[in-house]
């Protein structure tokens, strides 16, 4: 009787082992197939702009994952963008791939629209800067700041009362290239908000 129980337990253990091995093989196969499919499916047009075999247009971003949680980095392809009215629009119907270009760290534009990227650990999001002047819009250094003939921007949001003609970013004394400080003829700014000079003078190079 005891021998029979041992045999049954051994058989169950073997079945569990074989099942686990089979699942691991399947997961590896899926992962490999996914990588192959991604290589076949997306073709780079320029910079973050990609196209698939069906003519859809994508922004490419990266989910950096979490090594401590066993989550690997992964490429993510986004084919639509949110509009102000709460709806979404396919990129292929609004983007001009010929004139599309990167302006700096987070800003892009084509002949018709200006786009801003919101970098996040698990993949960036993108939005259109409504009302931005495409012809004069420019990113300011490797920062979150930008300007056009009408407005100044921080992370795509208009900075109230900023003077676009005199607006410029300020170098940080610590050498951090992605500065959060800026000024115009009327005020100083930190992360797009007005701030007194006395609070930032020890951190900036005029």
Q: Is residue 39 part of a domain?
A: yes
Residues 39-83: tens digit of each pLDDT: 558 999 999 999 999 999 999 999 886 766 777 788 999 999 988
Count: domains in the chain: 1
* 71: containing domain: 32-130
Cβ-in-10-Å burial (0-12, 13-18, 19+) of 169 comes to: buried
Is there a domain that residue 64 lies in? yes
Domain assignment present for residue 37? The answer is yes
> Would you mind telling me the total number of residues written for the chain in this entry?
206
pLDDT tens column, 106-133: 999 999 999 999 988 888 999 999 999 9
Q: How many Å apart are CA 128 and CA 143, to the nearest integer?
A: 18
């Amino acid at each position: 009787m005891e021998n029979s129980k041992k045999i049954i337990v051994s058989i169950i253990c073997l079945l569990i082992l074989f099942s686990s091995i089979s699942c691991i093989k399947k997961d590896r196969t899926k992962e490999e197939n996914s990588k192959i499919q991604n290589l076949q499916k997306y073709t780079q047009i320029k910079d973050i702009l990609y196209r698939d075999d069906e003519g859809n247009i994508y922004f490419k971003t990266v989910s950096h994952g979490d090594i401590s949680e066993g989550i690997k980095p992964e490429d993510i392809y986004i084919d639509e963008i949110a509009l102000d009215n709460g709806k979404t629009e396919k990129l292929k119907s609004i983007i001009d791939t010929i004139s599309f270009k990167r302006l700096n760290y987070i800003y892009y534009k084509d002949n018709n629209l200006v786009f801003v990227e919101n970098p996040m650990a698990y993949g960036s999001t993108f939005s259109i800067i409504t009302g931005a002047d495409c012809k004069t819009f420019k990113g300011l250094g490797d920062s979150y700041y930008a300007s056009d003939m009408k407005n100044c921007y921080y992370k795509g949001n208009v900075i109230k009362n900023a003077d676009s003609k005199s607006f410029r970013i300020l170098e940080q004394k610590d050498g951090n290239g992605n500065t959060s400080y800026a000024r115009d003829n009327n005020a100083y700014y930190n992360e797009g908000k007005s701030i007194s000079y006395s609070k930032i003078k020890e951190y900036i190079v005029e």
